[in-house]
Structure 1
């Protein structure tokens, strides 16, 4: 099951994260600086949306076959992930063998000091793999056995609240300040810190499956969007630990249920396509940045303005993501689909 109006929001989140990483020193956003300076919460949005989509894709099943499921999930992200990693290694030159091994196994986010080595954005995929491994066990033992979501929802809300308290306490603790590098990696990149975001997305997906009716709720989407902007401006976000779920969850559910102008506009095939290639935009952002810097130097384009150079980088990044989608992601999906037949529709998630 694919919800077309949701797909484009992935592209928006990915581009905001790219601007956060490479655009802040270049642009003077003035009245919008609070959005771009906190755009790293886009990773939280990805995790919540991932949990939501996973539940939509599998929620009507009685049981998840782990073997085929993991092949689907593996095919969905690992080929692009590994290409981004190899590109980064080739452009960086000298790399630590331990970093290569951890990144190949997608375990870098579990070990302080290694989360951002090689292809930095890959840390979030390391976390995502953990979610993928955990989901079928949660589904088969909890979600599929519950006629209503009240019990799981209560537990997930409790976990979310505990994470908020613990992370904010930890940032002010002596351990965090005594071991800043390890403490920073633990609080920002450790998979268990982000589990609440994926679980909250699961609960939102369960709610949507039980109340799927389309509604012309465009005004409410606008209200939640404005509330999200206000939250980014006035709430002190110490870390992206899932606090923005207060805004992201209602936004995702409202957009998924929308049957008004919002759906009609964001269902345009071009916008959906940008959403489809957004994973490549996200995972290739660092190696493509390194590559563009080398090309600019090689072809003596150093006099190019920083703003112009950034937009050249964005265009080049999107082009690489499109090629990756057409030459890697789609063929892999098609191959896996042929191996199982009609059950492959979940690869669209």
Structure 2
């Protein structure tokens, strides 16, 4: 096993465990009950996954799914739920900034003195006390932000499997950046509305949709292209469509059923049923409507292009020509060339004509 792969696999999972333990610690501080430390036992699942990945996959990831990301979600999401459902909402003032400035000022004054164990312990204790005094909304928002950042950075650092290329990984990470921003905006914008906190059922619904939207991060489907088997005939329309446009279809499905679609439903319920209307809520509702309409338009375009390709292919075969009408007698084309559309055939014909002119 390569040393770099081992370090990335262990280091990333260690970051996941530390962040989930930070969330559990914050829950125990808020609830004032030690029993919530039992949530830390969920990290044992991540430890078991690490052992199996190192043993059977040599530290590398899988093609369609990332178990490490999924188990990290399992470890941290319950803590965030408990923090969001906590009834006590503290008022955040400038006291937090003053406390942080005091801690940094103490560190600056003592920087020139000899560092002893007692000094380190006292500084750590002061830092913990300062962090404990930070009001809950800032803590919860900070955990949400670092959680989403760790998902992106962790997915970047985790060793990729042989089935995923670096180009596909870069596309996936860029998609995750935009997705994380939309998810953070959804939770912060909806839960910060005063009337929403008073309706527990509505808070449960928002957190449920938020949890559902997080399930797209362990998936690698949005950048995966299926290989079309020669045995798939044009009669199996759905399988052929999924084969040719798998990545586009997964992107559309994730947007409609995991992210933008559920977000739109929640916002419409807030505006229509609960009569909660704000300027930002109206704007993001309009944005979700626009995204859903564009995704449906993209689906229609893919469907029309696909059926047009099938009709063209069928008519060309009935006419007694080969799979490419522009190259009826070209036996050097591979069997997969029968899936080419008219533009591909035109490109081949243009290239052959140029070649003939040179000859």
TM-score relative to the length of structure 1: 0.26
Of the two structures, which has the highest relative contact order with CA contacts closer than 8 Å and spacing of 6 or more? 1
